[in-house]
Amino acid sequence: MTFEEFQRSLTDDTPPASLNPILEGLWYDGKEDWEAAHTIAQSAEGTPAYDRLHAYLHRKEGDTWNANYWYRRAGAATYTGSLSSEWETLVRQYLERG
């Protein structure tokens, strides 16, 4: 799936069946369903990819302290670009991984 196809899928009612859980969380976030995305992030805490998603979601929520905690747990630098740029970076990263 390309990034453009992923973006187009946001007009659908359900995420594409082939998405890995991180991309599914980003899909829900792209649909403005923070709670569904957060539930996915919480489902495998301690796993770097899930912790990285968790960091982004708390940054989006405006909870900088909590976001920084999750960035550290994920072993990732705190993202300093825009939220939309971070979302796109994560989507592209996980689409590349398959």
Q: What is the DSSP string of 67-97?
A: HHHHHHHHT-PPP-S-HHHHHHHHHHHHHHH
Which amino acid makes up residue 35?
E
For residue 35, the tally of other CB atoms under 10 A from its CB is 8
Q: pLDDT tens, position by position, for the chain (98 residues)?
A: 999 999 999 999 999 998 999 999 999 999 999 999 999 999 999 999 999 999 999 999 999 999 999 999 999 999 999 999 999 999 999 999 87
Read off the pTM. 0.95
> Closest Cα to residue 30, out of 84, 76, 78?
84
**Tokens found for residue 72:** 């550290």
